[in-house]
């Protein structure tokens, strides 16, 4: 049925495959830009926290806010690193994807994680296009399973954690401030 539909719609599997691979390569290029932006934000948040460390209670509260920003940026950078790896794998395995009617088990984590990430990463049109193409290929139920993180959906748990909107714990913020203080030979008083 898929070949007939492709013929009727004048889509060849190789054309779909090359379009998916091209979109994956474009996403990798976009990730490089996004990584630079978020690295700069991470550096600014850490620098601001460092400047606020040697101070009293009001400055400590501001330092904790900056630490939270830095942790959020680091989680975003970690998620982009994972997305980049998955996009590289996608570019290599597009023929395998276009040749199968159901998602191959060895690619389920990659496909599910990319669909999940696309639903959480705004301003990333290439990843959104990849999500649309994979949803078109494997169906809305497969995509919703990944987006909603259903049982056995295949989304990597680390990806779920990195793209979570939950704020960092106080312990995580304190640990980052201690690390910043230690790295810069500043006494940190909790």
State the average pLDDT over residues 52-80.
90
Q: Is residue 87 part of a domain?
A: yes
Q: Is residue 86 part of a domain?
A: yes
**Distance between CA 115 and CA 129 in Å, rounded?**
10
Q: Band of the pLDDT at 98, cuts 50, 70, 90?
A: confident
Residue carrying the six token digits 């990659």: 110
**Does the pLDDT at position 96 exceed 90?**
no
Residue 172 domain boundaries: 21-183
**Distance between CA 90 and CA 96 in Å, rounded?**
9
Q: Band of the pLDDT at 70, cuts 50, 70, 90?
A: very high
State the average pLDDT over residues 59-67.
91
Q: State the virtual CA torsion across 150, 156, 159, 160 in degrees, nearest 10.
A: 30
Domains in the chain, number:
1
Contact present, 186 and 54 (Cβ < 8 Å): yes
State the average pLDDT over residues 42-58.
87
Q: Band of the pLDDT at 23, cuts 50, 70, 90?
A: very high
Q: Is residue 11 part of a domain?
A: no
Task: CATH number of the domain at 99, please.
Answer: 1.20.1260.60
Q: Is residue 131 part of a domain?
A: yes
Q: Band of the pLDDT at 53, cuts 50, 70, 90?
A: confident
Q: Is residue 139 part of a domain?
A: yes
pLDDT in tens, 105-146: 999 999 999 999 999 988 899 999 999 999 999 999 999 999
Q: Is residue 15 part of a domain?
A: no
Q: State the virtual CA torsion across 144, 149, 151, 153 in degrees, nearest 10.
A: 60
Q: Is residue 134 part of a domain?
A: yes
pTM for the whole thing?
0.85
* pLDDT > 70 in the chain, percent: 88
């Amino acid at each position: 049925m898929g070949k007939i539909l492709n013929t009727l719609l004048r889509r060849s599997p190789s054309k779909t495959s090359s379009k998916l691979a091209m979109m994956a390569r474009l996403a990798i290029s976009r990730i490089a830009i996004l990584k630079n932006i978020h690295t700069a934000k991470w550096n600014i948040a850490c620098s601001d926290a460092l400047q606020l460390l040697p101070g009293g209670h009001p400055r400590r509260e501001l330092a904790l806010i900056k630490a939270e920003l830095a942790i959020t940026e680091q989680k975003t950078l970690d998620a982009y690193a994972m997305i980049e790896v998955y996009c590289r794998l996608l570019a290599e395995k597009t023929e395998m994807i276009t040749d199968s009617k159901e998602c191959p088990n060895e690619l389920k984590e990659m496909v599910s994680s990319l669909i999940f990430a696309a639903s959480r990463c705004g301003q990333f049109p290439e990843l959104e296009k990849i999500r649309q193409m994979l949803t078109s290929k494997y169906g809305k139920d497969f995509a919703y399973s990944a987006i909603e993180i259903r049982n056995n959906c295949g989304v990597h748990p680390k990806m779920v954690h990195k793209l979570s909107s939950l704020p960092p714990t106080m312990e995580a913020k304190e640990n980052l401030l201690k690390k910043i203080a230690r790295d810069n030979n500043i006494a940190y008083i909790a």
